[in-house]
Structure 1
Amino acid sequence: MSPHFLPRLRLQVRNWPRRALILTDTPRPDCPECEGEGAIGYDYGDPETGEYIDTEWEPCTCWDETRRWVLLPLPRRPRRTPPGYSTEPPF
């Protein structure tokens, strides 16, 4: 298998919908199309004034953003009561 088609994996912590440790693919750093960004940006502007409005991003073929695997669900962090705060009613 060519090294250009092997996945470039990294670990990430996902927070939604539940905290988990995931293994995900990353863009190819030597990609000539996106230069390692994972997407190609196209600037566009107002047709009348020509002023910049925004950039649209098209995903590059060197990276599959949906390629990810949940390795380990992580426990929720316990909520801490701020110091000096009471949970007792005021009456």
Structure 2
Amino acid sequence: MPSIFPLARWQIEAYHRAIHLVRGPHPDCPTCAGHGGIEVYQQHYEEPETELCDCWDPTPVIRLPLWFRRTERAPF
């Protein structure tokens, strides 16, 4: 289970053999109020759907490996 340490908009996750840096939603966003998602109600559906706000893109992750893997070389 990764451990998460919030640091303003940044989250630091220690996961396996690497540290992941993820930028979260803007805390002062007037559209989503810092949640990163907007609930959109459809006419035909009872439950709302959640769409991503423009202030946050969860895709980019900075990965910092704690140590590098050894590569085995062919013996010939």
TM-score by length of structure 2 reads: 0.60
Q: Which 10-residue stretch deviates more, 36-45 or 65-74?
A: 65-74
RMSD (Å) for aligned C-alpha atoms: 2.5
Partners of 1:71 and 1:58 in 2: how far apart? 29
Segments of 4+ in structure 1 off by > 3 A? none
The aligned counterpart of 2:13 is: 12
**Are the counterparts in 1 of residues 9 and 27 from structure 2 also a CA contact under 8 Å?**
no
Q: Which of 33, 36, 49 does residue 34 from structure 2 map onto? A: 36
**Are the counterparts in 1 of residues 27 and 33 from structure 2 also a CA contact under 8 Å?**
yes
Gaps of 5+ in 2: 1-7, 68-76
TM-score by length of structure 1 reads: 0.52
Larger Rg over CA atoms? 1
Task: Give per-residue Cα distances to partners, 1:20-62, cap 9 Å, x unaligned.
Answer: 32000010111000110111111335x3xxx72x221111111
Q: Which of 44, 50, 59 does residue 66 from structure 1 map onto? A: 59
Q: Tell me the matched-pair count.
A: 59
Gaps of 5+ in 1: 1-6, 75-91
Q: 1:43 to 1:13 in 2, by over 3 A?
A: farther
Give the letter for the 1:36 counterpart.
Answer: G
